[in-house]
Each structure stands twice: as C-alpha cells, then as structure tokens.
Amino acid sequence: MPATPDTGTTAWWRTAAIYQIYLRSFADGDGDGVGDLAGLRSRLPYLRRLGVDALWLTPWYVSPMADAGYDVADYRDIDPVFGDLDQATAFLAEAHAHGLRVIIDLVPNHCSDRHPWFQAALADPAAPERDRFWFQPGRGEHGELPPNDWQGYFGGPAWTRTSHGDWYLHMFTPEQPDLNWESPAVRAEFEDILRFWFDLGVDGMRIDVAHGLTKKPGLPDVGPEPDPTDLPYQDTDGVHEIYRAWRRISDSYDGERVFVGEVWLPTPEQYIRYLRPDELHSAFNFDFLCGAFTAPALRKVIDETLAVHRTVDAPPTWVLSNHDTIRHVTRYGREDTTFSVSDRRHGAPSDPDLGLRRARAAALLTFALPGGVYVYQGDELGLPEVEDIPVDQLQDPTWPRSGFTDRGRDGCRVPLPWSADSPPFGFSADGAAQPWLPQPAGWKALTVEAQSADPDSTLSLYRAALALRRRFAALPGELVWLDADGLSAAEGVVAFRRGDLTCVVNLSARPVALPPGDLLLASGPIEDGRLPADTCAWLVGVTDN
C-alpha cells in the first residue's frame, strides 16, 4: 500500500489547491511527442515547489483516443502511450512522498466503442451486454430515422445506426457509446472500478459528465424549444442514488478519499443537490469560470457561490480554466470576458497584456477566497490560448463533429514549455518526435526555466501566492466585503477580508488607494500606494473595517 501524504487525514479537500495535469501535454518521458507518466514523475519536484496540495490527472486508461482518453476501453489499466500499471503505482507512491494527493478521472457516462462490452453488444443483438447501452429501434417506416431528436454535445445527432438496423445513443462522439445506468451490471462494474483504484492508493476521483449518467425514462424528445433546466439527458433524479452508493464506498476507506463532480448545470439549485452531505464532496464552480471579469459580476458570483454551498456545508471551489475552455489569459483580454461552451468565440480580438494582467489578478483573487482552488497546467506560466494551430493539425473531435465550424479545445491543450529557446521547449528530449500539437515559437519567453529566473514572472507570483495561501487557506470561511469609499463593486473594485488578510482587486480604469495594512503580495507593480487597474493586492494586519 503506497504511503499516504503526511498532511494527515483532515478534510484536506475543503481547502486544497489542486493542479490539473493534462497528461498528454505535461511532460514527455519517452520521446514520442506525447506526455506520459515517466515525464510526470520526473517533474514532481516542480509541482511540490509550486506549492499545490493535490494533482488531478485527466484519463490515463487504455483508450483508442477518439476523445483524448475520455473514451475508455479498459478502466483497470493504463494506456501504453502513458505507461503501465507499475508506473502508475510508482507514481502514486512518489506523489505521496512529495506530499501531493492524487485525484484520477473517472468516465462513467460512456465508454469506448472498443470496450469489450460494446464490441459484444454490437456483434450479437441477443448478447447480455446490450442492456448496458442504449440500443433503440429507429423511427420512420424502415427505422431509418434516429429514435429521438437529441443532439450530441459536440454537434450532430446523438445516435448512430448499427449494422443490425437499430441505433445506439452517444451524447459525445459515435466512439463513446453512453452506458445505461439502469443496468445493475453497469452499477456493479463501476463500484468495483472505484474499489480497484482506491485500493491502489488514489485519493479521489473527478467524475466526468457527473450530471449526465441517467436519462429520463422513455428517452423523450427534447422538442423545438427545450427547457435547459429540464432536459431528458441530464440531471434526472436517478443520478443521485448512484453518488450516494459511491459515497458509501469512499467513506469506507481511510484517508479522506473524495469525489469532485464535473457538474455543468444551468441553475445553482440543480448543481448543489450533487453536494449534499451523502453525495459528492465537491464540484467545479463553472458559474465563476464562465462569468465576466468585472467587479459587479465577480461580487455577485462569489456571493451566490458562498450562499449556495453553505446550504449543504460543502466547500466552494474556484476555477479559471481547464482542458475544455479557452485559456483565461485570452478570455480576459477580450472585450467580452465571459465564456460559453456553446460559443467559444475563437479568434475574437484579445489584448495579450491586458489578459495577462487580469489573469494574474484573478489568480490572487481565487487563492484568497474560502474553499478549494484549481490550477490548470500552464495557468502558472500565464499561457494564452493558441489560436493559430493549422487546421490539418487539429486533434479535437469537436472540429469534424461541428461540421468544421468550431476549432474546439486544442488551443488550451498545447504541450507545456519547460526550457530552451525553441520547440519542443524541454517537453520532450531534444531529437524526440514533434509534440502532438505544435508549440508557438514565442513561448520561449514563457518557459519554466525563463520564468524561474525572473522574480516578477507569473510563475514566481504563483509560487509566492501558493506558499502564502497555505497560511490563509484554513482561515474560517467567513468573508467580509469592504465597502468603504472607493472599494465598492459599483466603483469597479472587489475588496474583502478574511481574518487578517485583505484582498483587493481593482477592475476600474483608474488607480485606487490601497486600504490599510501591510502589503504582502501584488499581481503587478504598486504605484505610490495606489493599486493600478487590473491588479490585485493582498495586505495583512488590520482586523476591523
């Protein structure tokens, strides 16, 4: 049994800084141009030095990679492109020895079309495996029309016809058939998969598409004017019983094993039900990620987040970017700083300097808020979205599935720049295969090596902030807004206190006077005691308004 981190068995997940490893783009240890476990293991000292508490790894299982590993063919083994089970076990022990917990990605909504169950179901219409998927007769005189009007998340119909004439459901690509959670075999299998990884020593599971596992009975049409709060393929009541069963399993292990849900839903009322005390421990705060980077919008989403999480005593989380979004350096440099998965606005004009200034301010803001925080690999380097990957090199299935209208998510998945003046920037050893996505030549100024040597770099800011955060993370959750003159949201400022920490973000166009206190850290230069626009400062030492 691998050693557990020396952080004890307290509820570490309530305040953790969790770093998202997009494995195929983090570090390549074997020179094939794709990141892997060997590369990750060699970079564990970097992660420890960065000051995060835990790692979340995107899927590492055996996969044909139709959706970068979110199409799993074997849930109990590692894809050879990433390594093998022995390396995964060694990695867990090494991460723990560095004081880092490890969360892996569980993909229960669908598997790969190469999964043995789906292969058996496709081969024989009488196979018992059929009930584990959604096979349905088509509509129309000869069954030539899909069984209902559902569209997949990546575009196109959510159904594909089989050689037997019937259809199967896939809310993502045709290579990702949806599992049928009404099947007891599916439930038993995933409970066993959970135990397999918990036994191996993982500290938690991120649950992919957590809102989508169960479907409304009868698979009714969505209709011409769908109600986004009542869709037949998401947030149906049956999903909660699954998580209650899983919670009983995680609770039966020592060491505070946790679930974090990818819960994308339109209302906080729907979302928060997943975080009731006997369900998931936490979830990603996509309302915060998607919102505008303005003082009134931030204040509103922070207030709503704190209020809704308080109702179930779950920790809020703060997330700025992940492997499915436009990187926030680019979003925040745009005129409209909001984000929507249905319209990524690729190529919208973005001011890179403004975006980076705001991204640095946003980091300090999120690190000062109560709860857990996520850092997506490359956030700490201030990486922008790569918007000019040649279309013949795009890998994301979103591109073909959208009829070549949405470039998809490759621009936030470009391999990290570690060192040197030219690609592969230390991502792979010199002389290795080209990285699986091309890196911009301009990233030579953004490498870990270049930024480590610069005390004003974004990497240095993250290191300083995460080290200080350890002091503040465990502060009581109460956040007190500072509404003194010049510090209100109406004036473009977000300012609050937690214990003796004061956090001020200036999103107005003019400099504002800093409130009292000793300056601890700022996301940009302070001019004559005044906080410039798009800058955040942390101060200590004053405990009353």
Positions marked active-site:
208, 262
To the nearest whole angstrom, how small is the minimum distance from the Cβ of residue 423 to ligand GLC?
Answer: 24
Distance of alpha carbon 83 from alpha carbon 98, whole angstroms: 20
To the nearest whole angstrom, how small is the minimum distance from the Cβ of residue 459 to ligand GLC?
Answer: 25
Q: Which helix (H) or strand (E) holds 219?
A: none
Please identify, using beta-carbon distances, which residue of 256 and 324 lies nearer to ligand GLC: 324
To the nearest whole angstrom, how small is the minimum distance from the Cβ of residue 399 to ligand GLC?
Answer: 13
Please identify, using beta-carbon distances, which residue of 317 and 457 lies nearer to ligand GLC: 317
Is there binding between residue 324 and ligand GLC (CB under 6 A)? yes
To the nearest whole angstrom, how small is the minimum distance from the Cβ of residue 269 to ligand GLC?
Answer: 22
To the nearest whole angstrom, how small is the minimum distance from the Cβ of residue 107 to ligand GLC?
Answer: 6
Please identify, using beta-carbon distances, which residue of 284 and 418 lies nearer to ligand GLC: 284
Distance of alpha carbon 30 from alpha carbon 89, whole angstroms: 18
Is there binding between residue 385 and ligand GLC (CB under 6 A)? no
Site for ligand GLC in 30-89 (CB under 6 A): 67, 70
Please identify, using beta-carbon distances, which residue of 286 and 425 lies nearer to ligand GLC: 286
The Cα-based distances of 282 to 278, 371, 541 in angstroms read 11, 10, 32
Identify the residue among 73, 209, 386, 389 touching ligand GLC (CB under 6 A): 209
Distance of alpha carbon 117 from alpha carbon 94, whole angstroms: 34
To the nearest whole angstrom, how small is the minimum distance from the Cβ of residue 415 to ligand GLC?
Answer: 17
Size of the site for ligand GLC (CB under 6 A): 9
Give yes or no for a contact between 418 and 360, defined as CB atoms under 8 angstroms apart.
no
Give yes or no for a contact between 282 and 332, defined as CB atoms under 8 angstroms apart.
no
Please identify, using beta-carbon distances, which residue of 328 and 497 lies nearer to ligand GLC: 328
Identify the residue among 28, 53, 208, 256 touching ligand GLC (CB under 6 A): 208
> Rounded to an integer, what is the distance from CA 202 to the centroid of its chain?
18
**CA-wise closest residue to 79 among 87, 39, 197, 124:** 87
Give yes or no for a contact between 73 and 123, defined as CB atoms under 8 angstroms apart.
no
Between 138 and 177, how does the x/- string for binding to ligand GLC read (CB under 6 A)? ----------------------------------x-----
> What is the 3-state composition of the chain as percent helix, strand, coil, each rounded to the nearest 5?
30, 15, 55
Site for ligand GLC in 454-513 (CB under 6 A): none
Please identify, using beta-carbon distances, which residue of 331 and 497 lies nearer to ligand GLC: 331
Site for ligand GLC in 252-281 (CB under 6 A): 262
Which DSSP string do the residues of 65-120 spell out, in sequence order?
Answer: -TTTT-S-SEEEEE-TTT--HHHHHHHHHHHHHTT-EEEEEE--SB--TTSHHHHH
Site for ligand GLC in 101-130 (CB under 6 A): 107
Cα-Cα-Cα-Cα torsion 36, 393, 449, 99, nearest 10 degrees, comes to -30
**Which residues, including other chains, have CB under 8 Å from residue 219's CB and lie 6 or more apart?**
134, 136, 147, 148, 150, 169, 232
Please identify, using beta-carbon distances, which residue of 320 and 365 lies nearer to ligand GLC: 320
Bridge partner residues of 538 (DSSP)? 503, 521
Q: Tell me the two tokens of residue 132.
A: 């584990």
Is there binding between residue 284 and ligand GLC (CB under 6 A)? no
The residue number with the shortest CB distance to ligand GLC is 70
To the nearest whole angstrom, how small is the minimum distance from the Cβ of residue 106 to ligand GLC?
Answer: 11
**CA-wise closest residue to 10 among 235, 400, 315, 436:** 315
Query: Which residue ranges make up the site for ligand GLC (CB under 6 A)?
Result: 67, 70, 107, 172, 208-209, 262, 323-324
